[in-house]
Amino acid sequence: MNSGEKVVATAREGQGPSKDLGTEPVTRIRRDIWKLEQAQQWHPAITAYAEAIRIMNSRPASNPTSLAYQAAIHGNTAADTWRNTCQHATWFFLPWHRMYLYWFEQICRAAIQTSDKVDSATKAGWALPYWNYDRGSPTNQLPQAFRDPETPDGDPNPLFVPGRNPSMAAGGGMPASVTSATAALAKHNFTGGSGGPATSGGFGGPITGFNHGGGAIGELENVPHGAVHVTVGGQMGSFNTAGLDPIFWLHHCNIDRLWEVWDRQTSPGRSNPDTDNWTTDQTFHFRDTSGADVTQVSGGVVNTRDLNYVYDQFSVPFARPDILQKVQRIPLLFPGARSALPEGFAAPAEEVRPDRPAELAGATEEPVVLTGETVAASFSTATNAAFRAKPAEPERVFLNVEEIRAEGPPGTPYEVFVNLPDDDETTDDHYSVGLVSLFGAAEASDPESEHPEGLKYVFDITDLYQAMKQAGLWNEADVKVTFKPVRVEMPEGASAAFAEAERRPEPAVTIGRVSVFFQ
């Protein structure tokens, strides 16, 4: 494995919680599922989780501590105070899911206490494991305990669900572009702000509350979060059913962990929002282990120690160094370009925005339809009057992928490229601007849903634009944007049937418009 791994901090046992919540005084440690699995097949902590899921599955859906009810908190056709309250495409995405995991973990822990298959040490210290899929093979595969239809005892395995993406079910691995948090962690700002068509979602999502037309989602919510949802597929591919797949909770623990990884970064230091409209104004409702109503606000969950848990480690993955620092792309893309740039050139930080509105420079005339194949669309940005006054050269350039709708849950995420010259796989990365995970595209198309506005992604492509301009590769009259499906990597010794399974028909996804904004 060539991807380096830097351990920023390691949580130690015995460090007391910073705040005593009374009921749960012990700080618990959420561990990497693949490390558990590699230490011991059907590790006691995994068996305990399977028991929790089995017990929760045996409860009626009306019981707030059943798996069906817990999944319905995330998404349900009927909404109430608790159900169908998941927060997507908003800056509440991370805190809401942290609360959601917290109460789910409590319910699991209570269920485990009643199982005779779990030893007392495991009962005392159990916490949800997380799935860090970004450490190369085999961590990018579903852990074996989630793929076996039966437990070692020959009972039905509660961690197994049918209907997942067949290649994932067969042991395929998610490619690095799906699992990597590199682009998300590189974001300096928690939120991309509100208003304006070229407002990115930042790291954690756009400011919402008085939103219209749908904002762009945060980068962590896009990749790896959404990309993993879509790639695992099946129940994981839809809001309403995602929580029914036991891997969902491990996936979200990893997203929760990555929030803390982001928070711990320095130069520049990162910070969570501190305004009242994020920290206190919005109250969320959940159910505790007895099914009673409990409420939390985002400001109360920024420190996991206040919730009596920590992660066993906070590794910063460097799976894709080429997208860690966007500016590194300039010498990668055009070796000669560096010398032509001012000494010490660095792409402006994302928060440096000129004091003028972002202007539409060009867009596609017709929608782009994705059906599982590579598709390209071209348009002109040769606008004669993007700005009223000089300078005519934009300080920031954005690529928007907008008005995305789908007939059903998309089968695969797509990688987006600008001015891709050929089909040479080895040079692809230099022209990539990121992924559109498409998670939630079907829900966003349903006029009855909570988010009927369609999906939108905003990519800051300033550095790529400048480098291409420099190298004469940006043709105003013909900007080409390519969408390539991101496929699961075949496991070793995979059969032809596996490749066939990968080619299953997928619901068509329609991208209403691809546009470039100058600012």
Partner 1 sequence: MTATAARSPEPVRIGWVCSLRRFWHRHPERGLAAVALAAWVALLFAGHSHSFWGRQANWLLMLAAMMIPPALPMARHVMQNSKRHRRQRAGLLLAGSSLLLWAVAGAAGVGLVWVIGLEGYRRWLLGGSLLVAAVWELTPAKRRALKACHRTLPLPPDGRKADRACCRLGVRYGGACFRACWALMLPMMLAGHPGVGLMLVLTGIAVAEEVVRKGYRLASAAAVLLTVAGMMVLVLG
Site string for partner 1, 332-361 (x = CB under 8 A): ----------xxxxxxxx--x--xxx-xxx
The answer to whether 78 contacts partner 1 (rule: CB under 8 A) is no
Those residues whose C-beta lies under 8 Å from the C-beta of residue 446, and which sit 6 or more positions away, are: 452
Piece of the chain touching partner 1 by CB under 8 A; list 172-180, 191-199, 220-228, 479-487: 191-199
Closest CA to 137 of 216, 13, 34: 34
The answer to whether 454 contacts partner 1 (rule: CB under 8 A) is yes
Backbone angles phi, psi at 283, to 5 degrees: -100, 135
Q: 269 or 447, CB closer to partner 1? A: 447
The answer to whether 268 contacts partner 1 (rule: CB under 8 A) is no
Piece of the chain touching partner 1 by CB under 8 A; list 136-144, 262-270, 415-423, 442-450: 442-450
Q: 129 or 215, CB closer to partner 1? A: 215
**Helices 247-263 and 93-112, packing angle to 10 deg:** 130
Contacting partner 1 within 377-396 (CB under 8 A): 379, 383, 385-388, 395
- Sign, Cα dihedral of 271, 251, 222, 423: positive
Q: 123 or 353, CB closer to partner 1? A: 353
The footprint of partner 1 on this chain (CB under 8 A) covers a number of residues equal to 49
- Min dist CB 295 to partner 1, Å, is 17
Q: 42 or 387, CB closer to partner 1? A: 387
Q: 256 or 403, CB closer to partner 1? A: 403
Please provide the size of the chain in residues. 519
Q: 487 or 513, CB closer to partner 1? A: 513
- Min dist CB 348 to partner 1, Å, is 5
Are 404 and 455 in contact, with CB atoms under 8 Å apart? yes
- Min dist CB 503 to partner 1, Å, is 29
The answer to whether 219 contacts partner 1 (rule: CB under 8 A) is no
- Min dist CB 435 to partner 1, Å, is 21
Q: Determine which helix (DSSP H) or strand (DSSP E) holds 109, and give its type and residue range.
A: helix 93-112
Among 25, 152, 156, 213, binds partner 1 (CB under 8 A): 213
Cα separation, 103 vs 73, in Å, equals 11
Structure tokens at 104: 């789910």
Piece of the chain touching partner 1 by CB under 8 A; list 70-78, 122-130, 211-219, 243-251: 211-219
Instruction: Give me the residue label for tokens 């699995």.
Output: 37
Site string for partner 1, 421-440 (x = CB under 8 A): --------------------
**Helices 93-112 and 67-74, packing angle to 10 deg:** 180
- Min dist CB 355 to partner 1, Å, is 7
Pairing of β 432-436 and β 414-418: antiparallel
Contacting partner 1 within 493-512 (CB under 8 A): 512
- Min dist CB 390 to partner 1, Å, is 10
The answer to whether 362 contacts partner 1 (rule: CB under 8 A) is yes
Backbone angles phi, psi at 297, to 5 degrees: -120, 160
The answer to whether 403 contacts partner 1 (rule: CB under 8 A) is yes
Piece of the chain touching partner 1 by CB under 8 A; list 140-148, 152-160, 190-198, 302-310: 190-198
- Min dist CB 388 to partner 1, Å, is 7
- Ordered DSSP codes for 397-412: EEEEEEEEEESS--SS
- Min dist CB 90 to partner 1, Å, is 9
Those residues whose C-beta lies under 8 Å from the C-beta of residue 271, and which sit 6 or more positions away, are: 190, 263
How big, in percent rounded to 5, are the helix, strand and coil portions of the chain? 30, 15, 55
The answer to whether 453 contacts partner 1 (rule: CB under 8 A) is yes
Among 211, 303, 378, 470, binds partner 1 (CB under 8 A): 211
Structure tokens at 99: 């609360």
Among 116, 153, 365, 424, binds partner 1 (CB under 8 A): 365
- CA 337 and chain centroid, separation: 33
Three-state SS letters, 6-73: EECCCCCCCCCCCCCCCCCCCCEEECEHHHHHHHCCCCHHHHHHHHHHHHHHCCCCCCCCCHHHHHHH
Contacting partner 1 within 458-487 (CB under 8 A): none
Are 136 and 451 in contact, with CB atoms under 8 Å apart? no
Q: 49 or 93, CB closer to partner 1? A: 93
SS3 156: strand
- Min dist CB 78 to partner 1, Å, is 12
The answer to whether 331 contacts partner 1 (rule: CB under 8 A) is no
Strands (E), 185-290: 283-287
Strand order in the sheet with 432-436: 375-379, 479-485, 414-418, 432-436
Interface residues with partner 1 (CB under 8 A)? Answer: 195-197, 208-214, 342-349, 352, 355-357, 359-367, 379, 383, 385-388, 395, 402-403, 447-448, 450, 452-454, 512-513, 515
